[in-house]
Amino acid sequence: MATALVKTDFNFPGQTGVYHGKVRDVYSIGQDTLVMIATDRISAFDVILPEGIPYKGQVLNEIATYFLDATADIVPNWKLATPDPMVAVGIRCEGFRVEMIIRGYLTGSAWRDYQNGVREICGVTLPEGMKENEKFPEPIITPTTKADAGHDMNISKEEIIAQGIVSAEDYEVMERYTRLLFERGTKMAAEKGLILVDTKYEFGKHDGKVYLIDEIHTPDSSRYFYADGYAERFAAGEPQRQLSKEFVRQWLIEHGFMGQPGQKVPEMTPEFIESVTTRYIELYEQLTGKPFIKADEKNISDRIAVNVLDCLQQINR
């Protein structure tokens, strides 16, 4: 089985800090530059799973790069360069403490809540009588607070502004960008025979301007259905064919794990790990229309160190 990068411990020139997230390790260089490494770690239900998924980091980084470049005319983003298949280097922004989740269809956690009688999410009232995977009359924005650890919490626009988490002015900008990005992502997905079901965006500020930060439209941050057969499956009440991380969550649920105290992560067999790699690569190729070229997996850390060092030297010239 291919090698997976699940841990990094770099010391780049000018490094001033490092943050190890659920799946990304972010290195601060000086005051204004970030090196974001997309590792092969995988998380579900806010838990980092014990085994890495080979090539997952490359898939996420290259999809994010693809969509950041394709939406740069809508909103300025943090990316300056992608010196390695698993790395993006960009502008350090002061991130807002909310994630902007936008949903075009009733599915996933929203559907699970809806089944339990919930008819309002983040201050947004949901219509009665909806079915699983049904399209909303128009996309809804359901933000969450961004937690350093544990579960993110749903919150309404009004609460965000009232609590001073984000100013009313900045929130309006984020909301407008969110709808425009989702519209562009929906159009790009449709061109590839996919439906962008829901996704999340993160924003930050640099020199007084709102920037799009982190990844966008990747299988870690988004859910996609295949357009072909959607209507027939919906009418029959059948599960949709989808390309997203939801299949990992479903596998965990079927094996008795939902991130609750006392629950144990089921064994991730080599066969299961390989199947997850295959699904990530499939999404890359379906989304971009390009064949996925696997990066050299030998000495991944050494490769990243050399590529990042060269990039930082060019930036500082």
Reading the block at residue 186, the tokens are: 């929906």
Summarised one tens digit per residue, pLDDT across range 105-159 is 999 889 999 999 999 999 999 999 999 999 999 999 999 997 665 567 899 999 9
Nearest Cα neighbor of 4 from 247, 295, 291 is: 295
* DSSP β-bridge partners for residue 212: 77, 203
CB 114, CB 86: distance < 8 Å: no
What's the residue count for the chain? 317
Report the DSSP pairing between strands 120-121 and 153-154. Answer: unpaired
pLDDT at 151: 62
| Euclidean distance between CA atoms 198 and 174, whole angstroms | 16
Q: For the chain, how many helices (H) and strands (E)?
A: 8, 18
3-state secondary structure of 234: helix
Any idea which residue has 């990042």 for tokens?
Answer: 308
Mean pLDDT of all residues in the chain?
A: 94
List 48's β-bridge partners, or say none.
43
Give strand pairing partners of 125: 120
Listed by start position, the domains of the chain span 95-244
In this structure, the number of other CB atoms found within 10 A of the CB of residue 293 comes to 8
How confident is the model at residue 149, as a pLDDT? Answer: 55
Q: How many CB atoms lie within 10 A of CB 193?
A: 11
Question: What is the spatial distance between Cα 217 and Cα 244, in angstroms, rounded to a whole number?
Answer: 10
pLDDT band at 244 (very low <50, low <70, confident <90, very high): confident
CATH code linked to domain 95-244: 3.30.470.20
SS3 for 33? strand
What would the pLDDT profile of 45-85 be if each residue is shown by its tens digit? Answer: 889 999 999 999 999 999 999 999 999 999 999 999 999 99
Residue 196: strand, helix, or coil: strand
What is the C-alpha separation between 99 and 155, in angstroms, rounded? Answer: 10
Beta bridge partners of 110: none
Over the stretch 157-214, which tens digit does the pLDDT of each residue have?
999 999 999 999 999 999 999 999 999 999 999 999 999 999 999 999 999 999 999 9
pLDDT of 245 reads: 79
